[in-house]
A and B are shown apart, each in its own frame.
Chain A
Amino acid sequence: MSPPRILITGSGAVCSAGKSPAEIFSAVRAGRSSIAPIKQWDVAEWPAQMAGEVADFNPREMVDDRKLHKLIRRTDLFGLYAAGKAIEDAGLTSYRDTLAGDAAATFSDQTGVYVGSGSGNYQNQYDYFPLLTAAKGSLPEFGRELANTVNPMWLLRSLPNNVLGHIGIKYGLKGSNACITHHSCSGSLAVIEGMEALRNGEAERVVCVGHDAPIEPQMVLYYYRLGLLATETLRPFDVARDGSVFGEGAGALVLEQESSAAARNATVLGEVLGGGYASEATGLVAIRDDGDGLARAIAAALDSARIRAADVGMIVAHGNGTRPSDASEAAAIRAVFGSDPPPVTAFKWSFGHLIAAAGLLEATVALAALADGVVPGVATLRELDPDCAGLPATSDSQAPRSKIALILCRGFGGTDAALLVRAA
């Protein structure tokens, strides 16, 4: 039996490559990278200096309400921006405005919010540095001076679920919800849980958002020490690749049951066909060489969508540019697709790795690529690593085999997520 159709009726995105899925896709398609030396602090002495920062970052452009800026962080601004664009794109609130009181209330109760969040950051805790200085090593003094030194709203600014709560308040959405704080798979998991909520009738429509802002000094340093960051640029599947590069931003999709979209006469961008997820239980950073978890996640996604591997028209690989991840990802793709996989691309070379936002943002870009009928090339790929043999990835654009894209995500904890979307 086929699962009920889950339609995509709105999308929004922001990252260093642009402020909409179309803008980001056109940068990727043109082979443009927005990865550059970090500007948020002086990186002259830093061993890793590159990232995909949102240029000319303007908090007011992200969220107009200035009062809110004191209560949330940079990552939340991105999430609220992308979610707002997706809600606007889908016309959710403008449709609700046409409904009578009770029907409008039911509409709100039946609209869920699923968020993939980067959780906390290090910088936020630096708000305690002035207090630590004032306390001169004395904890009782730290306690006494607390209220005079630290913003009373400090804890609220730190909440990992701020985007969830503030989308709810701003747009009056009250349905089922989740805030997933599971590193790079968070955004993909938000789509999977949102899709399942619709399949199971827990909501009639859901807003799915992934957001993150990992570009801060202490985070960059840790990833560098773990051997995960590139010195210059991100070259997925290339023989000379030497690591990943952070990006920042958010992606959002509005998903609906068929009946909900039909009642609103909504424009359909595509559908979410299925999703799968698996863990390798290898600890925080280690992964298996054979891509076992990713292969199982892809198989679970195909099963969830009730389609065959041969139906997939293009693969948006995780392609984070680290040696073990790309090689084992190629192994997983070979394991599932055999000797004839569909065209493979990856997007992170253009705008970096958005960690918790990666899967969701890349899904919005994949939909734009399918709509345009093109698999954009991997511009920084010069020579395919023999370890990644059999992967049809190139620096040139290719033609997708169908309207279906498989989007892969891999995160800490040896976790792997696979999403299947079809463009209208």
Chain B
Amino acid sequence: MAASRRVAITGLGLVTPVGNDVATTWDAVLHGRSGGAQISLFDASGFPVHIAAEVKGFDERDLTGDKRLLKFANRSHRFALAASEQALRDAGIRPAETDPTRWGCAVGAGMMGVDFADLVSTHDHAAADGELHAERLLTDDAANDPLAFCRSNCAAGLSLIARRHGILGYATSVHTACASGGQALGTAMKLIRRGTADYALAGGFDSMISPVGIAGFCLLSALSPDNETPQRASRPFDATRNGFLLGEGAGFVVLEEWQAARRRGAHIYAELAGDGNSLSSYRITDSPPDGDGPIQSMRQALASAGALPADIDYLNAHGTSTGMNDRSESAAVRAVFGPHVAHLSVSSTKSTMGHLIAAAGAVEVAICALAIRDGIMPINANLRDVDPDCDLNFVRDEPRRQRVRMTMSNSFGFGGSNSCVVLRHPDEVTL
């Protein structure tokens, strides 16, 4: 019966602002070494915010595994190719070695956009006075370059990953802004539970550290303006928080039907045990102050995992470091956990990595898997003066060593989608 199928996480891959692999990222996150710095990808000195958490020293020719695909790939796709390759290597299993039609793929992809250089070239040729002259597009290089189209199409990331790894089953690309990565993992879990797939590669990727990306967030005043102290800029739940630090990167996991993973002797990080998914239906960018919306997604995820609030030891919070999100999320956590809230260890690893937008949920679920594996929970960096409205049991200063039975990861997006993903320690799985 498909409904009783369990889902194992057997591989992880990470490219983040604090490391281009899992081990480096995990060490930095545990100890709260920030990836924040002055933006180096372009001259951002005139922008209201000129700090971000960039991926550093990324050797794409080395890391993506298939150099022929690079010409079709934008920056975020390159992160995705690298992280998905790491995850498959880590799992020790590949579509080609099994039945590739039984592999699914679900990704949270960033917003579609052309490379800034292409936008500038189109502007200079077809809109030099600021208005588009459509007939000039006919002779514009970027507008006639099929590769520029490939890099900007919304299906580009998924099609590169499916082609690179030969995935022939159900493949889907979702976008609910900052909830995308979490929703992609939830979708993949359901593919295996309902029998559509036996294996899945799932993750998220994004890179908005470009003039247009930074501009979009600056216009909304969503970013921390602490240009002089980039490593302190992201301080979720701190009373002085003033916006998020934009990050970039990719996170991928390999999922397998539990029994099959056991039979092949795979290392199982955790059970991907539950997914919750709701709409706040409040305002497009604002979070409801009472936590309505996130409350439902967290409760659904618990129910989907067959768990109670007291079973959860660690919450990797959405914790963006904006005034509104952190307050709303704290209210939701208190409502869901009730008296157990005192025993729930909480941290937002965005304090270290920044906000990876469509990749955030996937990367943070991978962090939860590592917390379960190692029995240690990463810190909420930069938390000096806890906002009284956010009085949760935060992991501060030092990582907390403790057996972690179950974890929860929250991701809430512009547009009001809320995602919550619950993991279970493999030894806690009773069949």
Contacts and interface: CB of A to CB of B under 8 A. Distances in A.
A202 B105 CA distance: 21
Contacts of A154: 215-216, 219
B281 to A, nearest CB: 4
Contact of A133 (B112, B113, B128, B137): B128
Given A174-B280, A202-B300, A140 B137 contact: no
Given A45-B135, A146-B47, A284-B155, A159 B174 contact: no
A314 B384 CA distance: 66
Nearest to A184: B155
27 contacts: A45-B135, A129-B130, A132-B123, A133-B128, A140-B43, A142-B211, A144-B47, A159-B284, A161-B176, A162-B415, A174-B278, A174-B280, A174-B293, A178-B176, A179-B176, A181-B155, A182-B155, A182-B158, A182-B171, A182-B172, A278-B169, A279-B169, A279-B170, A284-B156, A285-B150, A412-B153, A412-B159
A129 B277 CA distance: 38
A218 B137 contact: yes
Given A166-B284, A277-B170, A181 B277 contact: no
Given A177-B279, A178-B187, A284-B72, 15 more contacts: A125-B113, A146-B48, A150-B219, A155-B216, A155-B220, A156-B414, A161-B414, A161-B417, A165-B416, A181-B109, A183-B153, A217-B134, A218-B137, A281-B167, A413-B158
Chain B interface size, as a band, is 35 or more
Interface in B123-182: 123, 127-132, 134-135, 137-138, 143-144, 146, 148-150, 152-156, 158-160, 162-163, 165-177
Interface of B: 3, 42-48, 50, 72, 100-101, 105, 109, 111-114, 119-120, 122-123, 127-132, 134-135, 137-138, 143-144, 146, 148-150, 152-156, 158-160, 162-163, 165-177, 183, 187, 190, 193-194, 196, 211-212, 215-220, 277-285, 293, 296, 300, 413-417
Contacts of A181: 109, 112, 154-155, 173-175
Nearest to A160: B175
A398 interface: no
Contact of B155 (A108, A183, A199, A280): A183
A413 B162 contact: yes
B400 to A, nearest CB: 33
B218 to A, nearest CB: 6
B101 A183 contact: no
Contacts of A156: 220, 284-285, 414
B159 A284 contact: yes
A218 B155 CA distance: 17
Contacts of A95: none
Chain A interface size, as a band, is 35 or more
Contacts of B212: 125, 128
A120 B132 contact: no
Contacts of A109: 278, 296
A138 B300 CA distance: 50
A221 interface: yes
Contacts of B217: 155
